[in-house]
Amino acid sequence: MFSLPKLDYQYDALEKCISKEIMELHHSKHHQTYVDKLNAALENHADFQSKSIEELVRGVNELPKELQKPVRNFGGGHYNHSLFWKFMSPDGGGQPEGKLANDINSKYGDFQKFVDEFSAQAVGVFGSGWAWLLDDLSIVTTANQDSPIMDGEQPPILGIDVWEHAYYLDYTYKRPDYVKAFWEVVNWPEVARRYNNS
């Protein structure tokens, strides 16, 4: 059965972007709820309990009908958030280096143009959802707790949660301000590691 992953930092470590209050609610309440509801959905399906979260989410459309919706919503929520926490760091911000930096510059013209494009897509998500950077450095968005791997993509190398629960206590309705602040905590070494291993 699945469990809430431990963070690599304290709840107050990202306060230049996200307050301690939001981090604590987001991790210990919202993410925990996804884990609990996913486990409840799988309670009578022992044959799926040994699968990894990535395997479950990637194969959501092949699951028994009664599992597809809970795995999409709660499994997707668990998978997406488990990635999201890794994409941020108290020592984050700045710009990537090495191959990732060179390839972003080649694809988008320069780093700021990439930031502008990613931010525009994140801000433009209608309702709740996510913006993602894929391993080919394309930018996609998903609704609710959907993940690109549900559509056959490789795991994203960067992503931002733009559900209101991710920012409303700090930024109220001003999603653009939250997205702008996110760049101050992006864990570029982790993004680069995922990119280089993709």
- pLDDT (average), residues 83-100: 98
How far is residue 173's CA from residue 72's CA, in Å, rounded to a whole number? 26
SS3 60: helix
Q: Residue 18: its pLDDT value, please?
A: 96
Q: Which residues contact 80 (CB under 8 A, 6 or more apart)?
A: 130, 145, 147, 159, 161
- pLDDT (average), residues 57-82: 97
Do residues 146 and 93 touch, judged by C-beta distance below 8 A? no
pLDDT tens digits along 3-59: 999 999 999 999 999 999 999 999 999 999 999 999 999 999 999 999 999 999 999
- The answer on pLDDT for 130 being more than 90 is yes
* 98-196 carries CATH number 3.40.50.300: no
Q: Which residues pair with 104 in a beta bridge?
A: none
Q: Residue 8: its pLDDT value, please?
A: 97
Q: Residue 135: its pLDDT value, please?
A: 97
Structural domain boundaries of the chain? 20-86, 98-196
Q: Which amino acid is at 147?
A: S
Mean model confidence pLDDT for the chain: 97
- pLDDT (average), residues 147-171: 97
How far is residue 125's CA from residue 119's CA, in Å, rounded to a whole number? 10
Q: What are the C-alpha distances in Å from 130 to residues 12, 48, 160?
A: 23, 26, 6
Q: For the stretch 2-17, what's the b/e string if a residue is b when 16 or more beta carbons lie within 10 angstroms of its beta carbon?
A: bebbebebebebbbeb
Architecture field, domain 20-86: Orthogonal Bundle (1.10)
Q: Residue 139: its pLDDT value, please?
A: 98
- The answer on pLDDT for 198 being more than 90 is no
How far is residue 112's CA from residue 187's CA, in Å, rounded to a whole number? 17
- The answer on pLDDT for 66 being more than 90 is yes
How far is residue 198's CA from residue 105's CA, in Å, rounded to a whole number? 18
